[in-house]
């Protein structure tokens, strides 16, 4: 038994076959927009991961407090 596809909006189910062409076009744009938002969220997650890796690499590349003190003319004690 084939059930007709429906879209649920605000708690109401609409059979796709009953939608006007304008409604179908808006639905398609909504779906494309949702996909783009998901793609952008993935890109943001990738960029945040890269940023964290670069920050860790920078910290590892910086001289330690001891090395800084040895390079300085003045020794500072906390």
* Global confidence as pTM: 0.67
Domain that includes residue 29, residue range: 1-36
What is the C-alpha R_g of the chain?
28
Which of 42, 38, 37, 14 has its CA nearest to residue 27?
14
DSSP 76: -
Residue bearing the bigger pLDDT, 19 or 64: 19
> For residue 55, is it within any domain?
no
> For residue 15, is it within any domain?
yes
Give per-residue pLDDT as tens, 35-71.
999 999 999 999 999 999 999 999 999 988 888 877 7
> For residue 13, is it within any domain?
yes
> For residue 32, is it within any domain?
yes
> For residue 65, is it within any domain?
no
Distance CA 52, CA 49 (A): 5
Number of compact structural domains in the chain: 1
Q: Name the phi and psi angles at 9, rounded to 5.
A: -135, 125
> For residue 41, is it within any domain?
no
């Amino acid at each position: 038994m084939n059930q007709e596809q429906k879209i649920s909006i605000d708690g109401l189910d609409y059979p796709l076959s009953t939608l006007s062409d304008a409604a179908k076009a808006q639905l398609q744009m909504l779906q494309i927009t949702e996909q783009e938002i998901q793609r952008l969220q993935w890109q943001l997650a990738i960029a945040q991961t890269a940023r964290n890796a670069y920050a860790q690499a920078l910290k590892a590349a910086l001289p330690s407090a001891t090395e800084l003190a040895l390079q300085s003319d003045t020794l500072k004690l906390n």
